Amino acid sequence: MREGAMGEERFLVVRLGSLGDIVHTLPAVHALRSKFPGAQIDWLVEKKWRALLAGNPDVNEVIVLDRSTWGGVSLCVRELRRRKYDCAIDFQGLYKSALLARLSGAPRRIGFGLEFLRESGAGWFYTESVWPTASHVVDLNLSIVQSLGVEKGEARFPLSTTDKAERAVRKQLEPQSVKKFFVMSPGGGWMSKCWPAEQYGHLHRLLVRLPTFAGWRGVVNFGPGERDLAETVRVAAGEPAPLLLSPDLPQLVALLRGAEFFVGGDSGPLHLAVALGTPVVGLYGPTDPARNGPYSRADIVVRNAGPEETTYKRDNAPAPSMRAITVDQVVSAVERRLGVSE
């Protein structure tokens, strides 16, 4: 973290979670730092995501919100008020995030305009609202700081891991003689935007039999509550079976940074892989890749959904538009992304 300078502006960034949303906010905070190099820029985030901001050169302090107890919330609010921010920027657009910006005591509070808020009442807590014209979430976030005179510039994603995390990943890969590997992530928060787990298994079986990927190994990344999904992939893949890993956040950064490519749906791990520069093939159905797709133009999206199938409705089974994606389509996309297609 960096030292703040006396007499400079004091900014509070409010983006509590989740993984993909925090990743999408990193370029805006980097742009803010570029405009105000001596400012105090603190980031309010939920406890579980703190590690993602460790070592970020654009952030002075990470303020942790522990929502498990009322005492934890009260302590956090007192700390925010003690810091006497000039401006709070709410990138989340929820009641809780907007209220925390208000409770910080910052006289200037900036958030999205009504039609861009996830909860419309959040706008009551802002002193200024921004109506962006961009499509992608990264650019929407950049629009907020552009209202402060910040230039957009090149999007940068400052991310780091630790030697401990690197060693932990190697410790899990080396006993399996894994050298070159790719990552598949069958989860995604809500199942309607997930590709069926069996299809990932079939994908693995086809990829490892191609001459291009001879000797490579698939790694299935899964998070809390996703063990059954990962096991379904493993069973469908047959032999050689993919390796199942459930890394913590620093380990996930290390794992994705070392992968040859990543395949997954609209999820935090996908956006993290994009930010790390790992080649990505994104599988999309109900969510709009123009808004939530891989930010890198080099990455490839596989999607069969029509405009009328674009929805953010959260169902507990893969949407028909996700089931419509074939394994052959994904194999072809992987080959094109890596430049090995005929």
pLDDT of residue 5: 42
Question: Could you tell me which residue, 188 or 321, shows the higher pLDDT?
Answer: 321
pLDDT of residue 32: 97
C-alpha torsion angle, residues 261, 263, 266, 272 (rounded to 10): -30
In a 10 Å sphere around its CB, with 0-12 CB exposed, 13-18 middle and 19+ buried, how is residue 166 labelled?
middle
**pLDDT band at residue 342 using 50, 70 and 90 as cut-offs:** low
Residue 306 has pLDDT above 50, yes or no: yes
Question: Could you tell me which residue, 227 or 5, shows the higher pLDDT?
Answer: 227
* pLDDT above 70 coverage of the chain, percent: 97
Residue 171 has pLDDT above 80, yes or no: yes
pLDDT of residue 341: 67
pLDDT of residue 177: 86
DSSP 8-class letter at 180: S
| Sequence-ordered list of residues with C-beta below 8 angstroms from that of 92, at least 6 positions apart, any chain | 14, 15, 16, 21, 98, 118
pLDDT of residue 1: 47
Q: How many other CB atoms sit within 10 Å of the CB of residue 164?
A: 11
pLDDT of residue 298: 97
Residue 99 has pLDDT above 50, yes or no: yes
Average pLDDT over the chain, rounded to an integer: 94
DSSP character string of 259-316: -S-EEEESSHHHHHHHHHT--EEEEESSS-HHHHS-SSTTSEEEE---GGG------S
Residue 195 has pLDDT above 60, yes or no: yes
Edge-to-edge strand list for the sheet holding 128-130: 61-65, 40-46, 10-14, 87-90, 108-112, 128-130
Residue 176 has pLDDT above 90, yes or no: no
pTM for the model: 0.94
CA-nearest of 215, 226, 216 to 265 is 226
Q: What confidence tens digit (pLDDT) does each residue in 230-282 have?
A: 999 999 999 999 999 999 999 999 999 999 999 999 999 999 999 999 999 99
Question: Could you tell me which residue, 217 or 118, shows the higher pLDDT?
Answer: 217
Domains of the chain with CATH codes: 10-146 (3.40.50.2000), 164-338 (3.40.50.2000)
**pLDDT band at residue 6 using 50, 70 and 90 as cut-offs:** very low
Q: Which residues make beta-bridge pairs with 108?
A: 87
Instruction: Determine the Cα–Cα distance for residues 240 and 215; give it in Å rounded to an integer.
Output: 10
C-alpha torsion angle, residues 194, 200, 202, 208 (rounded to 10): 150
Whole-angstrom Cα Rg for the chain: 21
Instruction: Determine the Cα–Cα distance for residues 224 and 86; give it in Å rounded to an integer.
Output: 38
pLDDT of residue 188: 86
Which residue in the block uniquely carries the two structure tokens 């991310």? 159
pLDDT of residue 7: 46
Residue 96 has pLDDT above 60, yes or no: yes
